[in-house]
Amino acid sequence: MSAGALFRKAVANAKPLQIVGAVNAYSAILADKSGYQAIYLSGGACAAASYGLPDLGITTINDVVEDIRRITRVTKVPLLVDADTGFGSSFNIARTIEEFERAGAAGCHIEDQVGAKRCGHRPGKKIVSTDEMVDRIKSAVAARKDPNFVIMARTDALANEGIEKAIERSKAYIAAGADMLFPEALTELEQYKQFRAALPNVPILANITEFGKTPYFTTEELSNAGASMVLYPLSAFRAQAAATLQVYDAIKKDGTQQNVVKLMQTREDLYKYLDYHKFENQLDVLFGEGKEQ
């Protein structure tokens, strides 16, 4: 079963599907072994964690593809990827889909912001016309080789045009071939209900990112409001960064790490999640004592 088919199956079976952000391969392993059925690569996380850049559309398709490859090499859990605005016009978008699919992604979402995009929960967002976004979706759909590769349309129109226009746009995006919908930065459960009523058969993603416009709705609340997926794109990454700063500050202040060891994953747990001993045993078999050189 392809990655896209696995993702669609997970969406169909969960009520709703929880999708956690995995900023790198090791995070993906941890999510996999924690029992998640889908994971996510955020464009903002890729920019910040891999390249030390803000989420302003600075990273390129090759930057994201490299992170996709690293993650899909270590887990079969289907990976949804942030494709920003598609990394260019029609031919660029087609190449994005081809490269993402080849790298092992299960699907991606493309948004209706302008090329010089901003974080979806920041002010000052600008969006393209409905027609231009429809062309983006059509280009993406036409480029996929696996019909199960998921093309998700993200709309940031709520902040600029209000919910009625955002729903109108969303209907056009689905009509153009998008499989699923990602209405960004909703502020009320009622808004999810409105999207669900307008698009009753379309899986809808709720983005529950921290410190943003959307409250911390529970999975039960979101399911009752019509959401099919709940995304936590940066939760683990934010926790990792906060813990890292605590450790750095403590070592500098105290001259030892002893006071923050409790924050750390143990060596044995690291080995467990990496299957370290399996690799070490392979070395023993290949090059162990008594083997001819």
User: Which residues carry out catalysis?
Assistant: 40, 55, 82, 84, 109, 111, 119, 154, 184, 207
Q: What separation, in Å, do the N-terminal and C-terminal C-alpha atoms of the chain show?
A: 42
Residues 237 and 37: their CA atoms lie apart, in Å, by 19
CB 68 within 8 A of CB 105: yes
Q: Are 109 and 152 in contact (CB under 8 A)?
A: yes
Three-state SS for 178-203 is: CCEEEECCCCCHHHHHHHHHHCCCCC
Task: Kindly state the tokens that stand for 121.
Answer: 């929960």
Helix pair 163-175, 189-198: axis angle to 10 deg: 40
Report the distance separating Cα 198 and Cα 123, nearest Å. 27
The C-alpha atoms of residue 220 and residue 197 are separated, in whole angstroms, by: 18
Nearest Cα to Cα of residue 39 among 284, 291, 236, 281: 236
Local structure of residue 121 (DSSP, 8 states): T
**Distances from the Cα of 105 to the Cαs of 53, 82, 246, 282, 284, in angstroms?**
23, 10, 34, 30, 35
**What's the sign of the alpha-carbon dihedral 97, 102, 103, 107?**
positive
